[in-house]
Structure formats: C-alpha cells, structure tokens
Amino acid sequence: MEQYKAYIHELAKAGKDTVFFNSGQHHASLVMGTIFNYAKNDVRIYAGGFSGHVSDTIDYKQGLEKFLRGGGNLKVLLQESKLEEKTPPKIFELIKYYHLLNPDKVQVKKHPFKVRKPGLEDEIHFTVADGKMFRVEDNIETFTAVGNFNSPTESQILETLFDKMYNSEEAKPVHFFSDEKAVLPQL
C-alpha cells in the first residue's frame, strides 16, 4: 500500500497525464483524498449514496475537509434510490458543516439516473476536479477504477455529463441540511 500511495502522490504532485488504476476501498480512499488535496477550485462527485466504505476513511475525510476549508466548491450528485435505503452517511456531517457556512460553495442533489459506460451493463460512479483530474469507478461493488491527475479532455467529458444531470429538472436538492448551527465534526 505504501508503494501505491507514493506512486499516486507523485503522479498528482507532478501533474502527470498518466492513467492509473485502483482496486478496492483502500486505494479508492487514497485516490479520493489525493484528488481533494490537489484540487484548488471545483470537485464534482457522482456517487451512489456514500456507503462509508470509502468516504468514512481518514484519507477521504481529511482531504475533503482541507479542500472545503480552503474555499473549494463541491457539488455532489447522489442516486435517489441509494439514499432512500438508509440514514444519511457519516461524511454528510462534514459536508453539512461547510454547506451551512457557505451554501453556494457546497451543494448536494439526488437524482434518479444510473450512468453506464457505452455498451456495458455495469453502473459507474465518478469524480472530476478542476477540469483535469478524474476517477471513474467502473465496478461500484469492488471500487475498481481508472483515473488521471492531468487529463483535461476526459475531465471535460465527465464535467459535461455531471452538469447535464445536476442541472436537470430530475435532480433535486438533498434536505439533510437544516437551519441548525454549523459544528465541525471530529475527523
């Protein structure tokens, strides 16, 4: 794992246009944390419902907190059917805190869509950041994915897809956020 961590951080730090692969929730968490650590402006996440296998890890939470504390813009699009299956995921405490501080910078919606790669049955989830970084999870059960820290062409395709779904009439705001006081959760 340390070798993979060093490899991922080197790719991100150098901003290399190199495709990398990850498998399993630990690699997924590391890659997501790295995306958050290197993103400066915008992160868009299309996910099922934040099961916690990846989003409740320290790499993920610390990376997201650093990104949001730095003033980054976060848009999350979650599958409606996954949200109805359970209570709000733990990562929402952190997202809620920053949403309450600045609702224009941290937004979450739900939708009825399922995204699939052309010609395949399996659903995908993805994250895209700053118009150049992405991670596409092509097996949402095993968290296997492909990514790149400097691919504007692929990232633009994902941003366009995300924005089309996010801005559609079917996408509705998630009402996990009340008017309560913002309290930073313990990571």
Per-residue pLDDT of the chain (187 residues; tens, 9 = 90+): 789 999 999 999 999 899 999 888 899 999 999 999 999 999 999 998 887 788 888 899 999 999 999 999 999 999 875 555 556 677 888 998 898 889 999 999 998 888 887 777 788 999 999 999 999 998 888 888 999 999 999 999 999 999 999 999 999 988 765 555 555 666 5
Structure tokens at 54: 């990846």
Query: Phi, psi (5° rounding) for residue 46?
Result: -110, 115
In CATH, the number for domain 2-173 is: 3.30.870.10
Contacts of 1 (CB under 8 A, 6+ apart): 26, 30
Global pTM?
Answer: 0.90
**Domain boundaries, given as residue ranges, for the chain:** 2-173
